[in-house]
């Protein structure tokens, strides 16, 4: 097996390769003067099961093209199998046609990765669709919920309450709360715009709160919960844990005014304290 990681996720790739005792290479990416990409693997993928790891964020359109090109290289040079591990998989919000003639982007984007035999995505933002396999028979979603449960068990003592900031967070917050044997409160949210939301009021019973969300983008959803919690008890200790820390603009500053911010390293950032490579290793062992 050859683990080939893009530069942004080199750390994850090296950890995965070491745990699997597999060969490792970084994928070199350079730009032509006109902005087109030129990619190169440093090691021969021929006659190997090649796992390409990338986080398709920070200009997802570019990351998608880079990943498609990498899959083409692996296929052209005779890999036995090409597997994509997307630590973050974009374009999942549009998981159906919402209006006449609009894009069903999750289905359309998954279809671009035709040179891969298998696609593994970590906690994609699925709502009406429950697994990527509903979009493509070669696609699969896996979760790092258990890693978050283990992290909370090690780092958080005393009593606390698990909060899901909206209905879409329920599938993560409930599983994590169950793993911790804690009750969970799921708030309802109405989105009034990209940066404008309204949440229903909820009474929090515990002094310490852990808010769980899959994607932290603008931070507005979490800030709404934080403000609600602070009005109920100024001394509350509040922690926000997100699987994917996109952190657009000043999202981290808004959250950290009154709460601790923790993410996994699906998208490398300075708040990424939860390493997801063990979950990737667990899944790839099935390919040995």
- pLDDT of 189 above 80: no
The stretch 96-111 carries a mean pLDDT of 90
Q: CB–CB of 209/181 below 8 Å?
A: no
pLDDT category of residue 201 using cuts at 50, 70 and 90? low
The model's pTM is 0.93
The stretch 225-240 carries a mean pLDDT of 88
The stretch 162-171 carries a mean pLDDT of 92
Q: CB–CB of 115/77 below 8 Å?
A: no
Q: What is the pLDDT of residue 200?
A: 66
Q: What's the chain's Rg over C-alpha atoms? A: 20
Distance CA 184, CA 160 (A): 10
Q: What is the pLDDT of residue 194?
A: 56
CB atoms closer than 10 angstroms to residue 213 = 25
Q: What is the pLDDT of residue 86?
A: 98
Please provide the average confidence, as pLDDT, over all residues in the chain: 93
Least confident of 31-40, 51-60, 203-212, 227-236: 227-236
Q: Where does 158-227 show beta strands of DSSP type E?
A: 161-164, 184-186, 189-193, 196-199, 208-216
What domains appear along the chain, each with residue ranges and CATH number?
A: 2-143+275-287 (3.40.50.2020), 145-265 (3.40.50.2020)
pLDDT category of residue 57 using cuts at 50, 70 and 90? very high
The stretch 227-248 carries a mean pLDDT of 91
Q: Distance of CA 276 to CAs 33, 62, 90, 198, 282, Å?
A: 36, 23, 18, 32, 10
- pLDDT of 192 above 60: no
Q: What is the pLDDT of residue 181?
A: 95
Angle at 216 between CA 189 and CA 95, to 5 degrees: 65
172 φ/ψ angles, rounded to the nearest 5 degrees? -95, -50
Return all residues near 32 (Cβ < 8 A) that are at least 6 apart: 38
pLDDT category of residue 97 using cuts at 50, 70 and 90? confident
148 φ/ψ angles, rounded to the nearest 5 degrees? -70, -40
Q: What is the pLDDT of residue 190?
A: 62
Q: What is the pLDDT of residue 129?
A: 81
Q: Using a CB cutoff of 8 Å and minimum separation of 24, what contacts does 10-15 make?
A: 11/265, 11/268, 12/53, 12/87, 12/265, 12/275, 12/276, 12/277, 12/280, 13/53, 15/275, 15/277
Q: Is 112 exposed, middle or buried (0-12, 13-18, 19+ CB in 10 A)?
A: middle
Structure tokens belonging to residue 206: 């515990």
- pLDDT of 247 above 60: yes
pLDDT category of residue 233 using cuts at 50, 70 and 90? confident
Q: Which residues, in sequence order, are bridge partners of residue 238?
A: 209
């Amino acid at each position: 097996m050859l683990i080939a990681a893009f530069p942004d996720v080199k750390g994850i790739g090296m950890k995965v390769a070491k745990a699997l005792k597999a060969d490792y290479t970084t994928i070199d990416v350079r730009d032509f003067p006109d902005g087109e990409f030129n990619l190169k693997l440093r090691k021969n993928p021929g006659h190997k099961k090649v796992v390409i790891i990338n986080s398709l964020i920070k200009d997802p359109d570019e990351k998608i093209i880079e990943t498609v090109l990498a899959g083409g290289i692996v296929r052209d040079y005779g890999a036995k199998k090409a597997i994509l591990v997307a630590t973050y998989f974009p374009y999942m919000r549009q998981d159906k046609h919402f209006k006449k003639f609009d894009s069903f982007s999750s289905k359309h984007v998954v279809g671009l990765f035709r040179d891969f035999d298998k696609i593994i995505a970590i906690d994609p933002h699925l709502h009406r669709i429950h697994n990527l396999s509903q979009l493509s028979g070669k696609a699969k979603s896996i979760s790092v919920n258990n890693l978050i449960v283990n992290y909370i068990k090690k780092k958080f003592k005393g009593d606390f309450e698990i909060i899901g900031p909206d209905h879409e967070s329920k599938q993560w917050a409930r599983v994590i709360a169950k793993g911790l044997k804690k009750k969970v409160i799921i708030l309802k949210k109405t989105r009034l715009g990209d940066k404008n939301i309204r949440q229903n009021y909820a009474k929090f019973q515990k002094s310490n709160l852990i808010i769980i969300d899959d994607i932290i983008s603008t931070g507005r959803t979490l800030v709404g919960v934080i403000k609600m919690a602070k009005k109920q008890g100024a001394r509350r200790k509040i922690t926000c844990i997100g699987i994917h820390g996109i952190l657009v603009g000043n999202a981290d500053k808004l959250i950290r005014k009154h709460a601790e911010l923790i993410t996994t390293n699906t998208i490398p950032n300075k708040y990424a304290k939860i390493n997801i490579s063990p979950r990737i290793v667990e899944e790839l062992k099935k390919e040995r």
